[in-house]
Amino acid sequence: MKSKAFLKTPLGYALLEGDAAGISRFILTDEDNLPNTTPAPEFTEAVSQLEEYFVGQRKEFDLQLNPQGTEFQKRVWQALQDIPYGKTTSYMELSKQLGDPLAIRAVAAANGKNPLWILIPCHRVIGSDGSLTGYAGGLWRKKWLLEHEQQEKQQSLF
């Protein structure tokens, strides 16, 4: 039986879904009228780790994930988890890493279908020219996440 939890993040409310097999969905939403419920016990650790991430105290997640997708999508999502915190890669590099540089569009499509935003860091994939490209949660969220993960914060000169 699937359980749901909603939590407030700096990027808006998030929906967390899963069951005994693991977390199957984590997305951000523009909804602001969501139920304010206490997360089910199976989400306690996930909520704790996400809160640590958003305040800059966590760089990696240690959670049981159970995303639903095709075998190819799961391969892409697994590769996304290898992108280090604070780093980015391009769709081209990701497709090369997966063994088929011509699969760039399929890799991009699988990236866009990632049901576990942030937990599987699809926001760390950018265009080959360094540009921010599509993000299901909106480019402003992608920009925020990448800036949040910057190792060295830009210091103001004044």
45-84 pLDDT tens trace: 999 999 999 999 999 999 999 999 999 999 999 999 999 9
Would strands 125-126 and 89-90 be described as parallel, antiparallel, or unpaired? parallel
Contact 25, 66 (CB under 8 A): no
Q: Do residues 49 and 89 share a domain?
A: no
81 with 139, same domain: the answer is: yes
Same-domain pairing of 8 and 48: yes
Q: Please determine, for residue 88, whether its predicted confidence score (pLDDT) is greater than 60.
A: yes
Judgement on whether residues 116 and 81 belong to the same structural domain of the protein: yes
Beta bridge partners of 7: 14
pLDDT, position 22: 93
Which residue range forms the structural domain that includes residue 45? 3-54
Quote the percentage of the chain above a pLDDT of 70.
Answer: 92
Residue 157 within any structural domain of the chain: no
> Tell me, what amino acid is at 7?
L
pTM of the predicted protein model: 0.88
* Residues involved in catalysis: 122
Is 89 found in the same domain as 41? no
Contacts of 11 (CB under 8 A, 6+ apart): 28, 137, 141, 144, 145
**What's the structural domain count of the chain?**
2
55/136 Cα distance (integer angstroms): 23
pLDDT band of residue 38 (cuts 50, 70, 90) is confident
Q: What is the pLDDT of residue 74?
A: 97
